[in-house]
Amino acid sequence: MNSSDSFMLGLGLQAPWKLIDHPLNTEHSPYELRLQVGAERGVRYSCPECGVA
């Protein structure tokens, strides 16, 4: 399991979502972790209430 898979699991993200980038800035205190989440262009999403795309 790579770090992207670990973040996806920890955040509860599932397809069509994917983790694009996760840079860690150690020059700041406390450290700063930025997560960039995205999906493929044209993906249709289901309504969280009724399930319709």
Q: What is the pLDDT of residues 37-51, one digit of tens each?
A: 999 889 888 888 998
What b-and-e string marks burial along 8-47, b requiring 16 or more CB atoms within 10 Å of the CB?
Answer: beeeeeeeebebeeeeeeeeeeeeeeeeeeeeeeeeeeee
Each domain of the chain, given as residue ranges in start order, spans 1-53
Q: How far apart are CA 28 and CA 5, in angstroms?
A: 25
Q: What confidence category does residue 35 fall into, taking pLDDT thresholds of 50, 70 and 90?
A: very high
What are the backbone dihedrals phi and psi of residue 11, each rounded to the nearest 5 degrees, phi first? -85, -10
